[in-house]
């Protein structure tokens, strides 16, 4: 594995006094790798390189660009075990979840490989005689991608693949906590035949690499996934200079369980949504809003399932839940558990670090009951294995609770009542809606994203993800030799 940055088709070690230390969160004494941090000058060099490469890459036919992505998908499939084990070592999620993330990224590569053949506009009738009108999509130029640590393979793929398929050149900043997985993606793009300068990766801090990307007048678009605090500031800075920006940020996702719900099915979905990936995903289930007649039986199922979770290193095939990604996130989890107790929520299960697991950043799966909308654990994103359970007497009250937070990513309902389902779909204030299934999940061909404080800009994945990295051009062709257009504008 390379341990530097990648510019103009070459790996190099930046001349920096700072090292990014890549640690195993299950055993922080294990240093996976050390990456010399890139500087602002390195970012500017990468941007210049990408700008030069764009002149050729934008003229490369879309199907040929797509074939590069298809080769990348093939290579990634051959290296899937290596990618998954690297991901588990540096991010912490269990190996079966890491393998699932790798396959999700491969699916995205395949989807956008096909989009290279399908970049299309529209033909539309003109008001003028003898005039043919249509639209075409063209790449923007050089774009900046800033990815988070919690999905260090899938999210860089779902940002970079559409950008490349559309004909853009990329300057990519992976999260400092997970540079190794992103290094493997960069190697795979290189192996797949991506020309030098088209994809550039710089490992470094947000305050240096991120800021240089955001402030560059050359970058035509920026795609960011991360915290609301960072994303809000980034959006303001980049949009001020006229760049296209999309930010995918926080979530506080709820599952509504009505009186007629299949409680076994609901419990399985909530359990996976709350404790899968140690709760470290923006689509995680962090709230349950249950009808009083269903709550106790549902809670019994949830507690029973959570008690059986085996915690430990994700490389152990018998383990169900790995550690928090680092000490900061681990401390945040434990702090919120204390806050919940101080606010009067009833701690039903968990709430501590399993002492037998040594120095790793482990937290027990934690369930609170009696949580009210005024409590911080109901309203604020924790990003850990902490589940809050509340009650609502009817759908109207449940929707008020579900919508009563600043985020709007995903919500699910469990019921067999079609009237309730349709009312829920219409009234819930989230970008994604699930019925009788978990809050988690996404598919390459479907738009991903949220509303309210969760996201600004366009959706990711699917055709919408490709469109973000393009600009639309409208074409008028008069073929009569006479210009008779009415001058409306």
* Set 282, 364, 458, 460: catalytic member: 282
Check if the beta carbon of residue 13 is closer than 8 Å to that of residue 35.
no
Check if the beta carbon of residue 43 is closer than 8 Å to that of residue 238.
no
How many CB atoms sit inside 10 A of residue 190's CB? 19
**How many angstroms separate the CA atoms of 200 and 192, rounded?**
15
Reading the block at residue 409, the tokens are: 């990513």
- Taking Cα atoms as reference points, which of 223, 222, 221, 164 lies closest to residue 197? 164
Reading the block at residue 175, the tokens are: 């999260």
Nearest 5 degrees, angle CA 384-CA 90-CA 448? 55
Rounded to 10 deg, the angle between the 80-91 and 179-191 helix axes is 160
**How many angstroms separate the CA atoms of 270 and 284, rounded?**
9
Longest dimension (CA), the chain: 84
**How many angstroms separate the CA atoms of 294 and 262, rounded?**
10
Strand 244-248, strand 169-173: pairing: unpaired
Dihedral of alpha carbons 31, 37, 43, 46, sign: negative
Residue 466, H or E segment: helix 462-468
Active site includes 248?
yes
* Set 97, 110, 248, 381: catalytic member: 248
Active site includes 282?
yes
**How many angstroms separate the CA atoms of 479 and 460, rounded?**
39
φ, ψ at 137 (rounded to 5°): -105, 135
Reading the block at residue 447, the tokens are: 């738009």
**How many angstroms separate the CA atoms of 314 and 152, rounded?**
15
- CB hemisphere CA count around 387 (13 angstroms): 32
Dihedral of alpha carbons 97, 101, 104, 110, sign: negative
Active site residues: 248, 282
């Amino acid at each position: 594995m390379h341990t530097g940055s990648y510019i103009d088709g070459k790996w190099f070690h930046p001349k920096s006094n700072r090292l990014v230390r890549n640690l195993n969160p299950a055993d922080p004494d294990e240093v996976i790798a050390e990456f010399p941090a890139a500087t602002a000058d390195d970012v500017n060099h990468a941007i210049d390189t990408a700008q030069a490469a764009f002149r050729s890459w934008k003229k490369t036919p879309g199907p040929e660009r797509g074939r590069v992505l298809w080769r990348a998908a093939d290579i990634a499939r051959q290296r899937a075990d290596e990618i998954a084990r690297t991901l588990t070592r540096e991010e912490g999620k269990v190996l079966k979840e890491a393998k699932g993330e790798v396959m999700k990224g491969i699916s995205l590569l395949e989807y956008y490989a096909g989009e290279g053949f399908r970049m299309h506009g529209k033909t539309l009738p003109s008001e003028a005689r003898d005039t043919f009108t249509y639209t075409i999509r063209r790449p923007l130029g050089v774009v900046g991608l800033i990815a988070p640590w919690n999905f260090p393979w899938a999210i860089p793929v779902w940002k970079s693949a559409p950008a490349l398929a559309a004909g853009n050149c990329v300057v990519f900043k992976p999260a400092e906590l997970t540079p190794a997985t992103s290094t493997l993606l960069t190697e795979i793009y290189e192996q797949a035949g991506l020309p030098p300068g088209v994809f550039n990766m710089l490992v470094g801090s947000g305050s240096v690499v991120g800021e240089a990307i955001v402030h560059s007048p050359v970058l035509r678009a920026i795609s960011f996934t991360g915290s609301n605090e960072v994303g809000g500031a980034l959006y303001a800075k980049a949009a001020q200079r006229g760049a296209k920006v999309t930010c995918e940020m926080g979530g506080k996702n709820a599952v509504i369980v009505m009186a007629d719900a299949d409680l076994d099915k609901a419990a399985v979905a909530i359990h996976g949504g709350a404790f899968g990936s140690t709760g470290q995903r923006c689509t995680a289930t962090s709230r349950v809003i249950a009808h009083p007649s269903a709550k106790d039986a549902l809670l019994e199922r949830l507690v029973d399932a959570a008690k059986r979770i085996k915690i430990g290193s994700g490389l152990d095939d018998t383990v169900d839940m790995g550690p928090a990604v680092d000490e900061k996130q681990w401390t945040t989890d434990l702090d919120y558990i204390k806050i919940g107790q101080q606010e009067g929520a009833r701690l039903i299960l968990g709430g501590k670090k399993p002492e037998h697991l040594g120095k790793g950043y482990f937290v027990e799966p934690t369930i609170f009951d009696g949580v009210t909308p005024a409590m911080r654990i109901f309203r604020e994103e924790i990003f850990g294995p902490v589940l809050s359970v509340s009650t609502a007497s009817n759908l109207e009250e449940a929707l008020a609770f579900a919508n009563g937070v600043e985020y709007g990513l995903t919500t699910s309902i469990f019921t067999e009542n079609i009237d309730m389902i349709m009312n829920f779909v219409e009234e819930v204030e989230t970008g994604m809606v699930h019925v009788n299934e978990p809050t988690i999940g996404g598919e390459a061909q479907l738009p991903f994203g949220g509303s309210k404080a969760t996201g600004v800009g366009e959706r990711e994945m699917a055709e919408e993800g490709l469109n973000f990295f393009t600009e639309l051009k409208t074409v008028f062709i008069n073929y009569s030799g006479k210009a008779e257009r009415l001058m409306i504008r």
